[in-house]
Amino acid sequence: MTTLTLTNLAKRYSRSVWGVRSMSLDVKDKEFVVFLGPSGCGKTTCMRMIAGLETVTRGRIILKGQDITDLPPKDRGVSMVFQNYAIWPHMNVYDNIAFALRLKNVDRKELNQRVKKVAQMVRIEPLLKRFPGQMSGGQQQRVALARALAVEPRLFLMDEPLSNLDAKLRVSMRTELKTIHQESGATSIFVTHDQSEAMSMADRIVIMKDGEIVQTGTPEEVYFQSANTFVAGFIGTPPANFFPVEWKNGKLEHPRFQLSPPPALHQAIENHGKNRLILGVRPESIQVVREEEALFIAPVLVVEPQGSHQIVAVQVEDEVVKLIMPPACGVQPGELLPLTFDSTRLHLFDEESQLRIPGY
Amino acid sequence: MNASKTPGLIRERQERMAPYLLIAPAVIYYAIFWLFPVLNAISGSFLSAPLKQGGEWTLKNYAAVFTDSMFYRALINTAIIVVVSVSLEFVLAFALALLINKKFRGSSLFLFLAIIPMSLPAVAVGAMWNSGLATNGWLNSALVHLGILGEAEKIPFLAGGQGANILLIILVDAWQVIPFMMIILLSGMQGLKPEMAEAGRVFGGTRWQVLHKITIPMLKQTIVTAMILRIIAAIQIWLIIVMIFGFNRLPVLMEQIVVNVDLYTAETFFRKGMALSVLVALIVSLASVAYLKASGALGAKKEEAS
């Protein structure tokens, strides 16, 4: 069942400055959707329009069948976690969480139960009497979460809620947020610029650029079926490598190599009918092979150990190409690596439109 | 070992002395230019004449103040002006600050215009409104010119009773002082993260509830500062009153000091003025402490209640 529908939603700040150009999206019941994009792509603006903190220039917002486009924030049944927590320093934790419930005149007993329940959920029960000034960033973030959960919203909005936390806490909070989402079942929208955060948490990722949706899909879809070079170059740690190639005599020609694609891809390229293409290869799809099997040979620039694997940067023409290798394989800078591609995992894009060529 | 320890001890002692040496100039300055004159004024208020000229310790100066009906009129007028004008100024200044903080188009021009009255000295404000409020002054002329009043309907602003005069002073004072208060409140508001109020709106608050439960409590420190400064200044109002009404027509505490010390030359009046100024200083201190207590207590209660 659909919870939230955005139709052609747009926000214009001034005559020529658009925050969001046009956004159409359906969010299903209990879904965890992540808006992902670089800063300035309009993801936060879009969320603020849904919350009612930003007026809508054009388009409609429908929540559970009700048009909320012009309603004040308090009547929308949404709750929100802000990037810098925005918990009120003059109230203790209990009062922060109870604020919305008191305004709704929830009776004392139920209010107390609900505050206790969400405090337990985010594990801040012992802190209820504390003031925000006496708590760490991570604890404050939990209070903000509890406050947002307590109102049992129709829609749960989170605006980069983890970006002010330190790296370790950020990763552990991901798991916790996902657990809380599974427990509470609240339909959620989560805004972030961190693709690994998006990949690890989302049921569905909405990738945005310049105020428009570039691609919507599951983490697997956006990773393995990236809609264009922007998505392929944004998703992944490290992201995809690109090689400009030309389609000639049934082969993809690059100054350094010639590649015969598998039949399905061959057919798709033929159907597409254009010669100037961009080949995208994920780092783990580049393999080190014996010299006689190599597509090309490239010198190693840098080796970045990651523990479970290592990222090796090699030079191909003027480009830096990154690949993933197993740990402790003893590769040294300057060494020549014979490389080839996993031909079942190639991405091909039209050079002109930067879009993925369809049909493979 | 001794050789290495002794210089260390000396350095330690020097370090301990450093703060006292650093504040010494300020302490000396205060002793000479503040403490001495204050003590001098207090002791002077209990003397019939300078000690060197055979003055005696006495309470007559205070008796003269407390038997003067002008003192009581001045006390009541001052109290009315303080309560009414500070409340009025706070409400209007707060509203203006909220408005300017919205950052609408032209808000910086509006801010610029709004703070003009603050830059004028009290003498100029008094002179300006004195000539403005006179029956043939520019305010009446403007109203007649605009056709709001007939030539014969000019309002004798300055010829009203005591109540009307106080109201007039409160309005003129507010006109000058609102920008001052507004700027303090505005700077406080600009220090608040907008998310604080936004969170209030998302979590079910109307604009009024957000103002009442979030913005105002978070601005408490700023509000207390602004109010204290204004209360102290309002108790000491006199120059505008004298510029508009002259002496003794609308008696207030500070004006009565000037009247006694400056207008009359006899030593007894000078001594009475000194007594009065000690009393005013006392009133100002008490009012400030009372306000701080009240606002602090109110704040604590609110935190418990909400």
Q: What is the DSSP string of A131-183?
A: -GGGS-HHHHHHHHHHHHHHT--SEEEEESTTTTS-HHHHHHHHHHHHHHHHH
Nearest to A73 among B193, B202, B214 (CB): B202
Looking at chain B from residue 209 to 238, which residues have their Cβ under 8 Å from any Cβ of chain A?
Answer: 209, 213-214, 217-218, 220
Q: What is the pLDDT of residue B301?
A: 44
Q: What is the pLDDT of residue B184?
A: 94
Q: What is the pLDDT of residue B302?
A: 44
Substitution target in B105, B202, B220, B304 with the highest count of A β-carbons within 10 Å is B202
Cβ neighbours for A61, distance < 8 A, ≥ 6 positions apart: A4, A5, A6, A9, A49, A50, A67, A68, A69
Distance separating alpha carbons of residues A278 and A293, to the nearest angstrom: 23
| Set of chain B residues whose Cβ sits within 8 Å of the Cβ of A78 | 202
Question: Are the beta carbons of B199 and A74 separated by less than 8 Å?
Answer: no
- pLDDT tens digits for A140-190? 999 999 999 999 899 999 999 998 888 888 888 899 899 989 988 889 999
| Residue B296 maps to a domain | yes
| Residue B227 maps to a domain | yes
Nearest to B195 among A84, A99, A147 (CB): A84
Kindly tell me if the per-residue pLDDT of A22 is higher than 70.
yes
Instruction: Please give, rounded to a whole number of angstroms, the shortest distance from the CA of A84 to a CA of chain B.
Output: 8
Interface confidence (ipTM) of the complex? 0.85
| Set of chain A residues whose Cβ sits within 8 Å of the Cβ of B209 | 103
Please, what are the averages of pLDDT over each run of 10 residues along chain B (306 residues)?
66 88 93 91 91 88 93 95 95 93 82 84 85 84 84 80 89 91 94 94 94 94 92 92 90 92 87 94 92 70 41
Q: What is the pLDDT of residue B4?
A: 53
Q: What is the pLDDT of residue B5?
A: 59
- pLDDT tens digits for B169-183? 999 999 989 999 999
| Set of chain A residues whose Cβ sits within 8 Å of the Cβ of B200 | 88, 99
Phi, psi dihedral angles at B205 (to 5 degrees): -85, 140
- pLDDT tens digits for A60-100? 999 999 999 999 999 999 999 999 999 999 999 999 999 99
Q: What is the pLDDT of residue A169?
A: 87
Q: How many of the other CB atoms lie within 10 Å of CB of A240? A: 22
Residue B304 in contact with partner chain A when CB distance is under 8 A: no
| Residue B29 maps to a domain | no
Question: How far is C-alpha B76 from the chain's CA centre?
Answer: 17
Instruction: List residues of A whose CB lies inside 8 A of any B CB.
Output: 51-53, 72-74, 78-80, 82-84, 86-92, 95, 99-100, 103-104, 147, 151
| Residue B16 maps to a domain | no
| Residue B9 maps to a domain | no
Nearest to B195 among A74, A82, A104 (CB): A82
| Residue B262 maps to a domain | yes
Nearest to B202 among A79, A88, A104 (CB): A79
Substitution target in A90, A105, A129, A160 with the highest count of B β-carbons within 10 Å is A90
Q: Give me the domains of chain A, ranges plus CATH numbers.
A: 2-228 (3.40.50.300), 234-350 (2.40.50.140)
Nearest to B306 among A74, A87, A95 (CB): A95
| Set of chain A residues whose Cβ sits within 8 Å of the Cβ of B213 | 99
Question: Are the beta carbons of A74 and B201 separated by less than 8 Å?
Answer: yes
Cβ neighbours for A153, distance < 8 A, ≥ 6 positions apart: A77, A78, A79, A186
Point out which residues pair with A228 in neighbouring strands.
Answer: A355
| Set of chain B residues whose Cβ sits within 8 Å of the Cβ of A91 | 303, 306
| Encoded tokens for B237 | 């109002």
Question: Are the beta carbons of A73 and B201 separated by less than 8 Å?
Answer: yes
| Residue B237 maps to a domain | yes
Kindly tell me if the per-residue pLDDT of A6 is higher than 90.
yes
CATH number for position B127: 1.10.3720.10
- pLDDT tens digits for B210-253? 999 999 999 998 999 899 999 999 999 999 999 988 898 899 99
Are the beta carbons of A226 and A356 closer than 8 angstroms? yes
What are the strands of the beta sheet with A296-305, ordered from one edge? A286-288, A336-341, A296-305, A310-316, A319-325
> DSSP assignment, residue B228?
H
Residue B205 in contact with partner chain A when CB distance is under 8 A: yes
Residue pairs spanning A and B at CB distance below 8 A: 64
Strands A336-341 and A296-305: antiparallel
| Residue B17 maps to a domain | no
CA-based nearest residue in chain B for residue A149: B203
| Set of chain B residues whose Cβ sits within 8 Å of the Cβ of A114 | none
| Set of chain B residues whose Cβ sits within 8 Å of the Cβ of A189 | none
Strands A346-350 and A66-67: unpaired
Give me the domain span that covers residue B178.
Answer: 70-305
The total of structural domains in chain B comes to: 1
Place of tokens 């009133």: B283
How long a stretch of residues is chain A? 360
Q: What totals of helices (H) and strands (E) does chain B contain, helices first?
A: 15, 0
Nearest to A86 among B196, B209, B306 (CB): B196
| Cα end-to-end distance, chain A, whole Å | 31
